Chain A
Amino acid sequence: MSGPTTDPRAAAPGTVVPTRRNTELLLLGFAVLITLAAQSIVDVTITGSLRPELATFGGWFAALWAVVHLVVRRFAPYADPLLLPAVAVLSGLGLTMIHRLDLAGMQDGAEATREDAPVQLLWATIGVALFVAVVVVLRDHRLLSRFAYTLGLVGLVLLALPAVLPASISEVYGAKIWIRVAGFSIQPGEFAKICLIVFFAAYLVDKRDVLALASRRVAGLELPRGRDLGPVLAVWVVSILVLVFERDLGSSLLLFGIFVVMLYVATERASWLLIGVGLFAGGAFLAYQLFGHVRVRVDTWLDPFAYRDEGGYQLVQSLFGLGTGGLFGAGLGGGRPDQVPVAKSDFIASAIGEELGLFGLVAVIVIYLVLVERGLRTSLVVRDAFGKLLAGGLAFAVAWQLFVVLGGVTGLLPLTGLTTPFVAYGGSSLVANFGLVAILVRISDAARRPATPPPPPKQAIGEAPTEVVSS
C-alpha cells in the first residue's frame, strides 16, 4: 500500500483542488426541481389539481438536501459532487412514485389505505439525520476498521435475528426477514449488509497477503490452500443459512456476492471468483433439490406465465406493466402500476417502467450507474487499502442489489425480496442506504482531499514574516 505522500494521484502540495461543492449544489437544486415537477404532474394527472401539502413536501424535501449540502460543505468539502445529487433524484423519484400509488389506492377506495409517502419522507429525514451523524462524527473512515470485529458481530446478529424470532414478528409474505415492533417494520438485513461490508474490508485488508500469496497452481489457476478457504466457507454457510431459515434468496445472494467480489479485489486472485461462483451454484442446486419454496421460486422464474394465477402473478403483472408502458410510458399518473402487488416496495421499478417508459427506466438505471461508478472511482483514488476495499464493497453492494432487484422484477433472475435502493418504500432500506452513502462521501472526501492541508502562499524565506507556529 502506497503511503499518502508517494501516491501519484495525490495532489501535489500547493495545487488548489476544486471542491466542486457548487456543482453539487446546482445538481441538488436540479434534483429537487425534477422531483417537484414530477409530483405536480402526478397530482394534476390524477386529481386534476395540486394538493395543498405539496408546498410542505417541497419545502421539507429541499430543506433535507440543503442540510445535507451544508454538512458536506463544512465537514467533507472534497467529497465527490455526483454522489448526493444521484441519491437526491432517486429518492425524489421514489417519493413521487409512492405518492402516486397512494393516490391510486385512495381512488380504489377498497380499503382505507394510509398514505405511505409522508411516512417515507419521515424515513428519508431519519436517513438524512444518520447521514449527518456519520459525516460529522466519523471524521476519518479508517476509524471504522477499529470497530470492524464488533460491527461484524453486530451484522451477524442483525442478520440472524429474524430467523430466531417467532414468525409472528418476523415473517411477511413467506420471508422471515423482518422485525415488527409497535407498528414499525424493520428489515435488519439492510443494516447488517453495511456492518458486514465494513467487517469484510477490515478483515480482508488484514489477511489479504495470506489469502493472495499462499497458493498452489492447479490447471493454470492460483488456488488457495485448503485452510485459507475458511472465511469464504464461513460466509457461504451463513448465506445458505439465510436462504434456508429466512427464505430470503435476495439477502443470501447479496451477501455472498459482495463478499466474493471484495475477496477478489483484496487478493487480486480471479480463482476466488470461480470458487465463489462454484460454491453458490452448488448451494443453490442443493437448496433447489431440498426445499420446496426454492423450487417453486425457480420454476416460477423460468416460466412465470405458466403460474400466472399463483406464484407468477406478481412477475406477470410487473411484465404487463412494463410492456404496456412501452418506449415512452403511460406518463406519471397515466398507468395502472397499482395492478402490480406490492408496487411501492418490491416492484417500484416496474411502476417507473410503466409510467416513464423504457426511457425513464433506463435513465434511472443510468443514474444508479453514475452513483456506483463514482463510488468505485472513489475506491480507485483513495489512498488506504481499507478505504479502497470499503468504498469498492459499498459501491458494488448498491450495484449488485440493484441488479438482483431489477433482474427479479424483469424476469432476468428469480424474484427476491430485496428493495430498490433509495427508491422503494421501506424505512430500513432508505435509512441504511443513507448510512452507506455517508460512508462513501466520507471516503471520497479523503480521496480528493489534498495530501496535506494547503500551505499558505509560498514566499521567499527571507521575506517571510516571523510568526508563531501554532499548529
Chain B
Amino acid sequence: MNAPLRRVAISVLVLFTLLIVNVNYIQVVRSDELREDSGNTRVLTEEYSRERGSIVVDGTEVALSVPTQDTLEYLRQYPQGPLYAPVTGYYSLVYGAWQLEDAENEVLAGSDARLFTRRLTDLFTGRDPSGGDVVLTLDAGVQEAAMAGLEGVTGAVVALDPSTGAVLGMASTPTYDPGRLSSHDPADIRAYAEELGAMDADPRLNRATEDNYPPGSVFKVIVSAAALSTGEYTPETVVPAPDVLTLPGTSTQLRNFGNSSCSSSQEQSLIDALTISCNTAFAQLGIDLGEDRVREMAEAFGMTGERLEIPMRTAGSSIGDIESEAALGQTSIGQRDVRMTPLQAAMVAAAVGNDGTLMTPHLIDQVRAPDRTVIDRADPEELSEPVTPEVADQLQEMMESVVTEGSGRAARIPGVTVAGKTGTAQVSGDVPDHNWFVGFAPADDPQIAVAVFVANGGGTGGDVSAPIAGDVMQAYLEGQGG
C-alpha cells in the first residue's frame, strides 16, 4: 500500500500548493482591487479611526473630528453646519465624502504626499497618524452676509479677491446640515438624505460652482470688453439702439426689457447702453463684432467650457454653439446657449476690477500638518488676461455708471463707489426669470468682486440681486476696516 500512499502524499502537496497559489493570487495580485472595492468598508472605517484634519475659516474650525466612544472612534462635526455646507460638504459613512471633504480628502485623512515625512515619524514613534488641516480663504463676515442675503431663495453668491483669486465667500441656498449626513447612524443619514432629495432644489448641490445658468445681461460686460478691445469703440461711441431689432434672417423681433425704449433717438453711447442694459444695442453690437470676437473674449474671461478645480471640480461655462447671426444677437445679451456658473460671473467682475487680469480662483489658503506647521500655502496664479488695463479702466467706468445711475443702483454702498452689472435672464418654460448681479468695490481699488445669482427670483437683477451684492461687499469692506 506504500506506493499509493506516497502518491496520496504528493497529491496533498499539490492540493495545498493550489491553496497557496490561490491565496497568493487573492492577497497579492487582486489585493488593491479588493481593498478599493466600494463594498469594502475596511478602508473607510480605518479612515474613521484616525483623527481627520479640520477645515478652518478665519481661525475657527468649521469642520472637525471629535473622539467618540463607538467603534468609529471619531465623529465629524460642523459647528456652523448650514453656513459652510456648500464648501465643506459632508463626510458620510453611507454616501462617502463630498465637496472639500472629498477634494481635500488626502490632506484631511493624512495620506497626502506633503504629510509623508510626518507619517514616517508617526510610524516609528508609534503616534496615531492624524490628518492635516485645510485653511480656507473664506471670510466669515462675507460668508454670513451672503447666506443671510440668500435666505428664503434658491441661489448662490461667490465673492473673490480680485487681485489674488482667493474665494472670500461661497454661498448656495437652500443649504443643509452636513453634520446629520456625517453622523454614525446610517438609518438617520439615509432618512435625512431622502428628505433632502425630496426637496424641489436639492440642497446638496453647490449652485455657486456645480451648475450653470443663463447670465442674461451680465454677459454684456463681455460684449463691451470685446468691442472696446477692437480699439474702434470707446464708452462714448454711439451705437444703434432701436426699440425693436429684427434678428437677421428671421422674423424674430428682439425688444428691450419691458418693451421699453432705450433712447428716443434710437441710438446711444456704449456707456449709456450698458447703464440701462439696452438689449437691442448689445444684440446689434455683437452681430457687428462677429462671432469670433465675442467667443474669443468670452473664452479669455474663462468661458471655455473647461471645469476648474478650486479644488472642488466646478461645472464649465460657455457660450455654446452659434449657428446664425440671429443666434449671435441673442447670445450677445446672455440668452440662447450662454451658461455661466455664479463663480464664472464673479470671475468676470474680478478680472475687470484687477486691471484686466483674471486670477485663478482658489479656496485653499494653507495646508497645515497636524502640529499646525504650514506645509503649503496658496500661490496666486494668473489664469488669463482678457483685456488690457486701459480697456479694464473703460469697463470699470461703464460699470460704475450702472450702479450710480443705472439698473444696479440697489448695490450702492454709502461712501464707496461700486461698479457692477445686473442681469435678468429669461428661462424657458413658464417660470420667473433668473436674477443676477456682478460687481466689485471700491471701484477704483477693488478689494472684493461678487456675483449674486437668484434662481427664478421673479424680479430683476437690479432689485433682487443687487442689494445682496451690496450687503456682501459692505460686510467685507467694513471687516477690513474700510
Q: Which residues of A contact B (CB under 8 A)?
A: 107-109, 261, 264-266, 268, 308, 316, 319-327, 335-336, 339, 353, 357-358, 361-362, 365-366, 368-369, 372-373, 376-377, 379-380, 385, 388-389, 392, 396, 399-400, 402-403, 406-407, 410-412
Contact = CB atoms under 8 A, between A and B. Distances in A.
A357 B23 CA distance: 10
A271 to B, nearest CB: 12
Contacts of B33: 323
A376 B45 contact: no
A357 B30 CA distance: 13
B374 interface: no
Contacts, number: 131
Interface of B: 1-6, 8-9, 12-13, 15-16, 18-20, 22-24, 26-28, 30-35, 37, 39-43, 45-46, 70-71
B29 to A, nearest CB: 9
Contacts of A319: 26, 30, 34
Contact of B22 (A326, A388, A412): A412
29 contacts: A264-B8, A265-B8, A266-B1, A316-B39, A319-B26, A320-B35, A320-B40, A321-B42, A322-B34, A323-B30, A323-B33, A323-B40, A324-B35, A324-B40, A326-B35, A327-B27, A336-B41, A358-B23, A362-B23, A365-B23, A366-B16, A369-B12, A376-B5, A376-B8, A392-B1, A396-B8, A400-B15, A407-B18, A411-B22
Nearest to A334: B46
The 8 closest A-B pairs by CB, nearest first: A323-B34, A320-B40, A358-B27, A399-B12, A265-B4, A376-B9, A326-B31, A403-B15
B20 A324 contact: no
A361 B27 contact: yes
- Secondary structure of the B contact surface, majority rule: helix
B42 A339 contact: yes
B27 A396 contact: no
B23 A369 contact: no
A372 to B, nearest CB: 5
B71 A107 contact: yes
Contacts of A403: 15-16, 18-19
Contacts of A324: 31, 34-35, 40, 42-43
Contacts of B16: 365-366, 368-369, 399, 402-403
Contacts of A326: 27-28, 31, 35
A232 B358 CA distance: 86
Contact of A261 (B8, B13, B22, B37): B8
B19 A365 contact: yes
Contact of A410 (B3, B22, B31): B22
Contacts of A396: 8, 12
A255 to B, nearest CB: 17
Nearest to A9: B2
Contacts of B3: 268
B71 to A, nearest CB: 5
Contacts of A365: 16, 19-20, 23
Nearest to A316: B39
A461 to B, nearest CB: 39
Contacts of B2: 380, 388
Nearest to A263: B4
A369 B27 contact: no
Nearest to A308: B39
Given A320-B40, A376-B9, 6 more contacts: A109-B70, A324-B35, A327-B31, A362-B23, A399-B16, A411-B22
Contacts of B26: 319, 322-323, 353, 410-411
Contacts of B31: 323-324, 326-327
A320 B18 CA distance: 20
Contact of B42 (A320, A368, A377, A406): A320
A396 B22 CA distance: 21
Nearest to B15: A403
A362 B20 contact: yes
B23 A322 contact: yes
Contact of A357 (B13, B27, B35): B27
A373 B9 contact: yes
B19 A325 contact: no
Nearest to B45: A336
Nearest to B6: A380
A122 B312 CA distance: 57
- Among B8, B39, B46, chain A packs the most CB atoms within 10 A around the CB of B8
A316 B3 CA distance: 41
A372 B19 CA distance: 15
A335 B2 CA distance: 45
A333 B470 CA distance: 58
Contact of B35 (A107, A266, A323, A377): A323
Nearest to A309: B39
Contacts of A358: 23-24, 27-28
B34 A372 contact: no
A416 to B, nearest CB: 14
Contact of A353 (B9, B23, B43, B71): B23
Nearest to B3: A268
B303 to A, nearest CB: 43
Nearest to A338: B71
Contact of A389 (B1, B32, B45, B70): B1
B245 to A, nearest CB: 61
A265 B5 contact: yes
Contacts of A322: 23, 26-27, 34
A319 B20 CA distance: 15
Contacts of A361: 23, 27
A450 B316 CA distance: 88
- Among B27, B39, B41, B71, chain A packs the most CB atoms within 10 A around the CB of B27
A327 B8 contact: no
